[in-house]
Amino acid sequence: MYLTKDEERIYDGEYGWAKQVSIRILVKLGDLYGADRLIPIESAHISGVAYRTIGDASIEFLKELANSNAKAAVRATTNPSSIDTMNQLFSCLPRNVIEKQREIINLYETMGIEITLTCTPYYIRRPAFGSHLSWAESSAVIYANSLLNAWTNREGGPSALASALVGKTPNYGLHKPENRRASVLVKVEAPLKSEADYGVLGIYLGEVLGNRIPVISGLRRRDEMCLKQLGAAMATSGMASMFYLDENYVGERSFEEEISVDDKSLKASYERLSSTIEKPDLVLIGCPHSSPEELKIIARYLEGKRVRDDVKLWVCASKYVRRNADEYVRVIETSGGHVICDTCAVVTWLRELGVETLVSNSAKTVHYAPLLSKVGASLSSLEECVKIACGK
């Protein structure tokens, strides 16, 4: 892989160990996937923030970077942690766990990385049209490529961090126009009534597509909430990093395969995904993290209602969205719900927080909660989730 003179100096350690190890990670990745060079990025989004998922070994690596004066070369943001440290709900967790999580956050902050702690960095700052990124959160990657026309591969936490410290990423995969062409036409024949249905469609498509890029036709709703759930679910059950809506695709229409999706296909996916739960411990909305518009919708459904005493209602959102939607947050919390920041159900300790069963409008959550937390999970629409939380 070609390196500029300045990149060669970084590779040889003239700019310090932190940059050297970072560019060597990127070069190794580029060699593996046939990249011809490194290209500048507008921003990086780093996973590997939650203590529950990265553990102690990764903390030691972060310490070595921070002690070597590692600093972000471009704007870099962070994925959710395992705890909302400002919320008393999480104070029941062991003190050493809380301290380890704070240590991870402090190490990233020392490196000049923004402590956003959200899987939806595009609500804080929207990437420029056509910009190259190095993002590691799968739901954010597919959102950026599909809905924002930004260009990013599905990075791992270490490669996104390396890109943040160097300001570049290897030029392969979805950074190259020829790799962004669709190869499959998906015809949706089943009626999709809610964002939860879009999530089920995403789970089904992720399983059958693998990493192929589809053009999707037949979607009756194209609102952002539904498309976000579609993409997040596709990236959960498969390696999808991009999709096109039929009316937006301008490439060649000589597809390798056509897939029709009917009610029977989606019903089978729903039955594999979702359990029947009559009285959940937790109703979870906001995976991926909620937008201001979603908080507005939730507040409207909750107006004049009260969350049952025997059910927790969590609405997950970034601190930025919470601050800018104070009116809706007030309605949600007055009704007995909690607007949770900095974490989500996928990366926290649900059972230790008193959760054995949950209902969510997120297919991603319902997929991962049984696998990662041994928690029963059921899928319902946002509107139905609020009704369940209020017992109506």
Query: Taking the domains of the chain in order of start, what are their residue ranges?
Result: 5-177, 181-272, 274-390
Do residues 243 and 213 touch, judged by C-beta distance below 8 A? Answer: yes
Provide the whole-model pTM.
0.97
Supply the mean pLDDT for the chain.
97
Confidence of residue 326 (pLDDT cuts 50, 70, 90): very high
Q: What is the mean pLDDT of residues 282-288?
A: 98
Whole-number pLDDT of residue 283: 98
Do residues 124 and 318 touch, judged by C-beta distance below 8 A? Answer: yes
Q: CA 72, CA 19: separation in Å to the nearest integer?
A: 10
Confidence of residue 47 (pLDDT cuts 50, 70, 90): very high
Do residues 328 and 302 touch, judged by C-beta distance below 8 A? Answer: no
Q: What is the mean pLDDT of residues 286-315?
A: 97
Q: Does 186 have pLDDT greater than 80? A: yes
> pLDDT above 70 covers what percent of the chain?
100
Q: CA 53, CA 378: separation in Å to the nearest integer?
A: 23
Q: What is the mean pLDDT of residues 81-105?
A: 96
Q: Residue 130 has which token pair?
A: 């056509």
Whole-number pLDDT of residue 278: 78
Whole-number pLDDT of residue 277: 83
Whole-number pLDDT of residue 251: 85
Q: Does 209 have pLDDT greater than 80? A: yes
Q: Does 97 have pLDDT greater than 90? A: yes
Q: CA 376, CA 308: separation in Å to the nearest integer?
A: 19
Q: Does 41 have pLDDT greater than 80? A: yes
Q: Does 307 have pLDDT greater than 90? A: yes
Q: What is the mean pLDDT of residues 313-318?
A: 98
Q: Does 392 have pLDDT greater than 80? A: no
Distance between the two ends of the chain, CA-based, in angstroms? 61
Whole-number pLDDT of residue 150: 98
Q: CA 212, CA 224: separation in Å to the nearest integer?
A: 22
Q: What is the mean pLDDT of residues 180-192?
A: 97
Residue type, 4: T
Confidence of residue 276 (pLDDT cuts 50, 70, 90): confident
Does residue 288 have a cis peptide bond before it, meaning omega lies within 30 degrees of 0? Answer: yes
Do residues 22 and 166 touch, judged by C-beta distance below 8 A? Answer: yes
Whole-number pLDDT of residue 99: 97
Whole-number pLDDT of residue 351: 96
Q: Counting beta carbons within 10 angstroms of the beta carbon of residue 187, is it exposed (0 to 12), middle (13 to 18) or buried (19 or more)?
A: middle
Whole-number pLDDT of residue 9: 98
Q: Does 85 have pLDDT greater than 80? A: yes
- Equal fold, 5-177 vs 274-390: yes
Q: Residue 22 has which token pair?
A: 């970072």
pLDDT per residue as tens digits for the range 228-244: 999 999 999 999 999 99
Q: What is the mean pLDDT of residues 282-298?
A: 98
Angle at 261 between CA 257 and CA 266, to 5 degrees: 135
- Count how many residues are written for the chain: 392
Q: CA 230, CA 222: separation in Å to the nearest integer?
A: 10
The class that CATH gives domain 274-390 is alpha beta
pLDDT per residue as tens digits for the range 131-163: 999 999 999 999 999 999 999 999 999 999 999
Do residues 340 and 319 touch, judged by C-beta distance below 8 A? Answer: no
In sign, the C-alpha dihedral spanning 288, 289, 294, 298 is: positive
Residue type, 176: K
Q: What is the mean pLDDT of residues 172-200?
A: 97
CATH number for 5-177: choose from 3.90.1150.10, 3.40.50.1100, 3.30.499.10, 3.40.640.10: 3.30.499.10
Whole-number pLDDT of residue 383: 97
Whole-number pLDDT of residue 275: 85
Do residues 48 and 111 touch, judged by C-beta distance below 8 A? Answer: no
Confidence of residue 34 (pLDDT cuts 50, 70, 90): very high
